[in-house]
Chain A
């Protein structure tokens, strides 16, 4: 949450999206409410429509972070690498 607030919330170049892999949407909602998630969520039932299912192949575990550009290319994977890349983007482009 701290990294989101510092690096994403007011950064026009980047947005964070939570893909919920909960089968139980009420459970997903309850968790998001409890944690007061500031980012938008894609529910599992809408995963195919979002296109984010195509990044889940291979050795895929959760939690999982990917940084994807607007053209759909993965530019960083893993929480550390993703937020490091975001920090570089902000320094360079914002």
Chain B
């Protein structure tokens, strides 16, 4: 197995064990022996490369062939939507072109729970619609 993927899987498994339940998608290695959690950041269909943001915030890029058939199908099915939404590395540019996204892409505005603490968060997609859920703990 490619060393980078081994490292990625190790990080993913460690993150899952270390932080308990996670919200990101579960990815599976091509041979089905390993699983890890992470959010899709970018998919280069032509180059066959996928970039995933791990639970520890690190961004990892690897060959799509290292992933299971199910994951590859997921990427293929989402490639069109990703491109329509601005696509991978262009997410920030696509957000800045939006009235809503331009405000939300301001650094430090969004946070997301990481274990028991909030961590800074940046969008990995430029959606067309936003569900805004106003609430409080009390």
Give the B-binding residues of A (Cβ under 8 A).
8-22, 24, 27-33, 36-43, 46, 49-52, 55-56, 60, 62-72, 75, 82-83, 86, 89, 93-94
B3 at the interface (CB under 8 A from A): no
Contacts of A62 in B (CB 8 A): 134-136
Q: Look across to chain A and name the residue whose beta carbon is closest to the beta carbon of B115.
A: A33
Q: Are B130 and A14 in contact, with the CB atoms below 8 A?
A: yes
B1 at the interface (CB under 8 A from A): no
Q: Are B123 and A15 in contact, with the CB atoms below 8 A?
A: yes
Contacts of B125 in A (CB 8 A): 12, 15
Give the A-binding residues of B (Cβ under 8 A).
20-25, 74, 78, 81-82, 84-85, 98-101, 103-104, 106, 108-113, 115-118, 121, 123, 125-138
Interchain residue pairs with CB less than 8 A apart (24): A10-B25, A10-B78, A12-B78, A14-B131, A15-B129, A15-B131, A16-B133, A17-B130, A30-B137, A37-B113, A39-B133, A41-B110, A41-B112, A46-B108, A49-B106, A49-B109, A50-B104, A50-B109, A51-B103, A62-B134, A67-B131, A69-B129, A70-B99, A71-B98
Q: Which of B78, B81, B109, B116 contacts A46 (CB 8 A)?
A: B109
Q: Are B133 and A65 in contact, with the CB atoms below 8 A?
A: yes
B1 to chain A, nearest CB (A): 26
Q: Are B103 and A89 in contact, with the CB atoms below 8 A?
A: no
A82 to B96, CA, bound (A): 24
A16 to chain B, nearest CB (A): 4
Known A-B contacts A13-B81, A32-B113, A37-B23; the reply to A65 vs B132 at CB < 8 A is: yes
